[in-house]
Amino acid sequence: MQGDENQAPDPVVHSQERTEEFLRLLTEHDRIFSIYVTGLVQPLQDAQDILQEGKIVMWRHFDKFKSGTNFRAWGRKILLRQILAYRRKMKHRRHGQLNEDILIMLDAEMDSAMREKRWVEREQALRECLRKLKPEQRELIEQRYRDEASIEKISRHTDKSETAVYQLLYRIRKALQDCVQLTLNEADSKPTS
């Protein structure tokens, strides 16, 4: 049967091609998946764990993914199921978490924003606005959101009352929100060349 053109493809080659396709698609969408999960799950370590587990599930089910279709949408569905499963498992830690209806609504909004590429523009605007903050304001934001420090810990570190820390963070977040909105509005009003 040597030279038979109707012979089935070599499973090892097919498997290698699918592996390469998965890795290429995952690499291409990795950042957007990360933004998606970290936007819906806190703390950051839990979001990273969910993202990692979601990637494993994607790989296990990649044989069900049809080449040429929307990998981002397919992967997001898997990640949303992982997030919902995590939330059910963590019910005893529910304080401060969004309910499932709001989470699903945010998922839809994030989908729309991703399709419109607003996340990239918003992230760039936020980086620009963070650079405009005074160093002590930027440090406060980094302690709270990057380092996930508690208000109590920041209060001790800055020698300010917890109420004062809450108020400072509120003002900085509001200033960042206004700056991002202004930056995006300015970008929208610029003529495209």
Render pLDDT for 128-142 as a digit per residue (tens, 0 to 9). Answer: 888 899 999 988 888
Counting residues of the chain whose pLDDT is more than 70, the rounded percentage is 76
Give the residue from 73, 89, 116 where a domain finishes.
116
Residues 109, 121 within the same domain: no
Distances (CA, A) of 118 to 55, 124, 145, 155: 24, 10, 22, 35
| 2 assigned to some structural domain | no
| 3 assigned to some structural domain | no
Q: Is the distance from CB of 39 to CB of 30 less than 8 angstroms? A: no
| 127 assigned to some structural domain | yes
How many separate domains does the chain show? Answer: 2
pLDDT of res. 97: 52
Residues 25, 38 within the same domain: yes
Closest CA to 75 of 60, 105, 53, 55: 55
Q: What does the alpha-carbon distance between residue 15 and residue 10 come to, in Å, rounded to a whole number?
A: 9
Tokens 């590429």 correspond to what residue?
Answer: 117
Render pLDDT for 50-102 as a digit per residue (tens, 0 to 9). Answer: 999 999 999 999 999 999 999 998 999 999 999 888 887 876 454 445 566 66
Residues 48, 106 within the same domain: yes
CATH number reported for the structural domain that contains residue 150 in this entry? 1.10.10.10
Give the residue from 92, 116, 140 where a domain finishes.
116
| 6 assigned to some structural domain | no
Query: Domain limits at 60?
Result: 11-116
Q: What does the alpha-carbon distance between residue 4 and residue 1 come to, in Å, rounded to a whole number?
A: 6
CATH number reported for the structural domain that contains residue 79 in this entry? 1.10.1740.10
Report how far apart the first and last C-alpha atoms of the chain are (Å, whole number): 60
Residues 100, 140 within the same domain: no
Residues 109, 38 within the same domain: yes
